[in-house]
Chain A
């Protein structure tokens, strides 16, 4: 079945970078976009951006532009999200998600990766 499997929890110092991976299986990876969404403790969902897994074109939220890079490895059917210059307020659960076929939204979600920024 369609599945997104994310990398494990990370603890980082302020100012460091983190790279989260999202391994896709059960569908044709290159015909879909991959969204990244985060949720700080007790806060709302926040859309970070998406990458077209076929051609690598990205669109980032203005909130994260300049600090985030989304990439993909088509051979490994894996997407990546790197966030730089980490701040305490970047402590959150980070999710990858795939749209419904032929539609917009986020249908299949990864299990989430907890990133903790702490000194």
Chain B
């Protein structure tokens, strides 16, 4: 199973909105509403930010939102803040009853 495709880096200024894409296939992202997004700061364990495409766990800021269209899922961060600077990974359930992560995106706050 190949990794889902994400842009290597995305940047924005404080207060701006940015969107990270996650492209898979009709056997994963396109076929299931089980896409999740993770934030990872250096040296830390990943943190779940979005699950089931657009659901936000308790305690996660509503500045984070998720969506999906066809084989591509997206994570939008609005009102970008310095603490949002981190690596972000998407993940999808697959037709093989397995999971696959994306290639990862480094978010930089300018």
Which residues does A use to contact B, with CB under 8 Å? 35, 37, 44-47, 49-50, 59, 61-63, 95, 97, 100, 103-107, 109-112
Known: A44-B102, A47-B91. A62 touches B51 (CB 8 A): no
Q: A44-B3, A105-B52 are in contact. List 7 more A-B contacts (CB 8 A).
A: A45-B46, A45-B89, A45-B101, A103-B34, A103-B51, A103-B52, A106-B91
Known: A59-B97, A61-B98. A105 touches B45 (CB 8 A): no
A108 closest partner in B (C-beta): B48
Instruction: List the A side residues contacting B57 at CB < 8 Å.
Output: 100, 107
Instruction: State A110–B47 Cα separation when bound (angstroms).
Output: 11
Q: Are B45 and A109 in contact (CB under 8 A)?
A: yes
Count of interface residues, chain B, beta-carbon cutoff 8 Å: 26
The secondary structure that dominates the A interface is loop
Which residues does B use to contact A, with CB under 8 Å? 1, 3, 34, 36, 38, 40, 45-48, 51-52, 55, 57, 89, 91, 93, 96-104
CB distance from B29 to the nearest CB of A (A): 13
Q: Are B102 and A105 in contact (CB under 8 A)?
A: no
Q: Are B101 and A105 in contact (CB under 8 A)?
A: no
Q: Are A103 and B55 in contact (CB under 8 A)?
A: yes
CB distance from B108 to the nearest CB of A (A): 17
Instruction: List the B side residues contacting A47 at CB < 8 Å.
Output: 91, 98-101
